[in-house]
Homo-oligomer: A and B are copies of this chain.
Amino acid sequence: MTARGAEKPAGRRAGTAPQQAQPTSRREILDVAARCLRQRGYRATTLRDIAAMVGIKAGSVYYHFASKEEIVAAVMNDGVDNVFDAVTGALAALPAGATPRQRLEAAISAHLNALLAFSDYTSAGLKAFADAPEAVRQSAKPHRRRYEAVWMTLIEELAQAGATPPGVSAETLQLALLGMMNWSPEWYRPGRHSIERLAREFTSLFLRAS
């Protein structure tokens, strides 16, 4: 899995020079598309916009991709794989004897960071999914299922350790937790909220007093 993220394309254009000479890469187009999709959603993101931001004309995009749907599907799927890597990586990096609280907080923190700070791809995928054509949504399904399984496994592990609140099913726990996090782009403001603090507080909600 290669690098995917919110980083700007390599500094090909020196300073403010508006013209370019180097050829455009697929990744460069995807980076710009992810940023657009995140900000504006599926319908409001146009190939003209993307092309202009990359420094080429709209027609030239079709040298790299067969359709808008192909671009959106690539962004969405990279986005899900992105959080998947972030969350599984964070869990794997914990010491063997980590507490339920440490594991849940690490996973929540990784998810929030991908969504709110690191990856235009991840937030673009969330925002564009509902409006994307059926074919795009279908192609995203396996990626999403794989990611959801990570959370289901984690929650069941916590439940078996007796760490989750009583009277709430694992399924509801998962839906509530992901919903709480996935809605956060609607209200999160970088200067106003601290991701680490949010992760800590969100974690408290899903563990019985510990």
Contacts and interface: CB of A to CB of B under 8 A. Distances in A.
Interface of A: 40-44, 127, 130-131, 165-169, 172, 175-176, 178-184, 186-187, 198, 200-202, 204-206, 208-209
A61 to B, nearest CB: 20
Given A130-B186, A175-B184, A176-B202, 5 more contacts: A40-B131, A166-B209, A169-B201, A172-B198, A172-B202
A201 B41 contact: no
A201 to B, nearest CB: 4
Given A130-B127, A130-B186, A205-B176, A44 B41 contact: no
**Is chain A's binding surface mostly helix, strand, loop or mixed?**
helix
A27 B33 CA distance: 39
Contact of A43 (B43, B187, B200, B205): B43
A158 B172 CA distance: 23
Contacts of A198: 172
Contacts of A175: 184, 187
Contacts of A178: 183
The 8 closest A-B pairs by CB, nearest first: A179-B183, A43-B43, A172-B201, A168-B201, A180-B180, A179-B180, A176-B180, A183-B183
